[in-house]
Amino acid sequence: MSYPLHWLKTTFPSRSRAVELLQPELEKDVITKHDFELATRFLPGGHRHWQAIYGVGAVGITLGYGHSLARPRWSHAKLAWGSGAATLIGMVFGQVRQVLAHRQFTEALENPTGFIEASRNVDRRLGGDGQLGFTLERIRKDAAHLDNTATSGSSQEHGPEMVSEENWKKSWSQSNAPDGEYLYWLCYMPP
């Protein structure tokens, strides 16, 4: 999957800017109303700052522990090394969380192909060449699913309907995974 995370972060810094840039694409029916609302709420969201938030939070916890709670108190060198490592770990964790949030965003799109086209159009209007290197794994999977359905004649369920209780039970019965009682026994029963 190729995903222009930096471009999305810098292009849509606020909800008003996202609406301004995506409104023409909605009016031309390039993106759906659902995808427009989703994009204008998500793209300028707080996930953009998770790297810094988790980095600073990890440093605060590390310094607080090393200076106040640890016995004996940490030396200045240990505090410096610990806070540096905590910053790195916190920022990596924030980046992973941000990537996962964007993955959920792309999976929630009704028309990912339309969103990609709208993004390319926005880039062209802003003076870019429209070549964002933007592909979504889901598009390939949906295309492969449509090809398989057309050739095999069977229909498989995909998308949000997979979450319904009936479909969940149906897919669970076909799974080789252990049942819930066995997992409960394995985790909570004494040896």
The DSSP secondary structure of the chain, one letter per residue, reads ----HHHHHHH--SHHHHHHHHHHHHHTTSS-HHHHHHHHHHTTSGGGGHHHHHHHHHHHHHHHIIIIISSSPPPHHHHHHHHHHHHHHHHHHHHHHHHHHHHHHHHH-S-HHHHHHHHHHHHHHTTS-S------HHHHHHHHHHHHHHHH------GGGGGSHHHHHHHHHT--SPPHHHHHHHHHS--
Residue 5 is predicted with a pLDDT of: 85
pLDDT (tens digit per residue) in 100-149: 999 899 889 999 989 989 999 999 999 988 788 776 655 556 555 655 65
Quote the pTM value.
0.66
Residue 132 is predicted with a pLDDT of: 80
Quick check: 16 pLDDT over 90? yes
Q: What is the percent of the chain with per-residue pLDDT over 70, rounded to a whole number?
A: 69
Quick check: 163 pLDDT over 60? no
Residue 148 is predicted with a pLDDT of: 60
